[in-house]
Each structure stands twice: as structure tokens, then as C-alpha cells.
Amino acid sequence: MAGKFGAHVSIAGGVFNAPKNGVAATCDVIQIFTKNQMQWKVPPLTDEDVRKFKAEEARTGVEAVCVHASYLINLGSFEAGKLRQSRENFIVEMQRAQALGIPYLIVHPGSHMGRGEAAGTQRIAESLNVVLERCPEFRGKVLVESTAGQGDTLGYRFEQLAEIRAQVEDRERVGVCLDTCHLFAAGYELRTPEGYEETVRQLEATLGVELVGVIHTNDSKRELGSRIDRHAHIGEGELGLQAFRHLVNDPRFLEVPMIIETPGGPGKDAENLSKLRALVETP
């Protein structure tokens, strides 16, 4: 039995438009930003916005399963102002996800800014401790996303994600989001049966597959181990269809929502989702 497939969809005109945009992209589930992801400024989320959003979820049957936090946030920052701003903004993201009833909030771990990986993972965990303590009303789960490892970015090894979570006091509120493009760019093989199984074995040994709340299913424009994050359409990049065939038929991830983050809008999203669904094998 196939899991739930979806896409990151636009909230142009209001967050309540997201489920309708999900229908246009043939989504079972969707991921959204709740605001402009490239601005610190946060417009208010009104009671009417929330009411209309939940009504549209019910009307369309398209469930918003995850919010992606702003790209500006760096929970690993060593600049006092940027760190404070990142934490405050992330708390607002938590409050908005909670208001909308969306269960997962995805965030990139952050960059150590030249201070080293150990210091960076410690700072990220410290930030998670701060925001979780200050937002007890958030009943969802924060998912720390695996990264490609560009520059000083952390989270490109399962061990780093495990180290961050191990230093979080209320760690039951923290899981992980995997991204196939990021994994591949970071050096994890997914294309061959042997490579795929070894990657999942390493995941199990360091984190546990049960911590995976969402999987971003993106092909990669760049080669294995490139450490460069460039998403491609399903089957049109270096990963190819075989990697996704392994993933969508893996019983360990059957209940995990799979979200594409590929360019092109609803038409291309529908095309990519059709490719993924076609790979699902009938038992």
C-alpha cells in the first residue's frame, strides 16, 4: 500500500489557499511556509486565516503535514543578534504551526560559522532547548533536516543529527526530516540496492528510522558526494528513478509523508508525483 505523497505549495494570497493549491498539484499532503521565508517580518495570522485554512483542509481532503521554517534562521549562529533573531523567529514559526494544527515543523540545523562542528552542534541543541522551553504549547514535533553540507552547514551526517538530538533535553519533541537530494550530495548512496540498504543501516544505527517524520523526495542535479544542494525533477537527475523505487517501496517508511520540493509549479509537481506513484509496487 502506497504512502502519502505531496509537494511544497504556495500560500500566495493567504495561507488558506495552500490546500487548494495542493489539489491542483494532485497532492495527498502538503508542506507550506506560513509567511515569506526570506523576510524576518512576520504578518499576523488572524483567527479568520486559521478558520479558513482548516475549512479548506476539510473541504479538499488535502492535509498540511509540515511547515518549513524560514531559510534565514540559523540556530547555530555565534553572532548574538542573529542568534536571538533566529530563536525568536523560530518560536513564532512554532506558534503559527500550532495555531494551524500542522504536526511537523522542519528546520535546517544551521551553520557553525567557522567555529567547528562540535561547537556548532552544541549551539544548535542549545537553541532547540531554548525554543522548546519557551513554547510549551507547541504540541507538534520539530524535525531537523538532513543537509548537503555546503560551506559550514551542519546536519550532513547522521552522526551530527544524532549529536544535536542527544543534547536536547526534551528530545521526544525532536525528530528528523530526510532529503534525498541532500543525502546523496552528502555522500549517501541511494541508487543501488546495496547502497540504499547501507544508508538505511547507518540511519538505523545512529538515529533510528522511527525518528523520520517527513522525507523530502528530490532528485539531485549534482553528483554523489558533491556537497552541493541543487534539486532536480524526479528521475531527471543523478539519483534517477531507481533510488526512488527503493524508497517508495520500503515498508519502514510506508507511513512517512513524502514531499517533493522541485521547481515548476503545480503542473510539474503533478508530473513528479505521478512518477513517484508509478514506482509503487503492488504487493
Instruction: For the domain made up of 27-267, give the CATH fold.
Output: TIM Barrel (3.20.20)
165, burial (CB in 10 Å: exposed 0-12, middle 13-18, buried 19+): buried
- 8: closest CA among 79, 74, 62, 77? 62
Question: What is the per-residue pLDDT for 21?
Answer: 98
pLDDT at residue 219 tops 80 = yes
Q: Quote the pTM value.
A: 0.97
Place of cell 522525507: 215
- 214: closest CA among 155, 256, 172, 182? 256
- pLDDT tens per residue across span 96-108: 999 999 999 999 9
CA pair distance 156, 189, nearest whole angstrom: 13
Task: For strands 219-220 and 231-232, give the pairing.
Answer: antiparallel
Which are the contacts of 171, defined by CB distance < 8 A and separation ≥ 6? 165
Question: What is the per-residue pLDDT for 2?
Answer: 59
- pLDDT tens per residue across span 105-139: 999 999 998 999 999 999 999 999 999 999 999 99
Q: 60 near 23, Cβ under 8 Å?
A: yes
Cell (9 digits) for 81: 543578534
- pLDDT tens per residue across span 15-24: 999 999 999 9
- pLDDT tens per residue across span 65-79: 999 999 999 999 999
Whether the CA torsion 124, 130, 135, 136 is positive or negative: it is positive
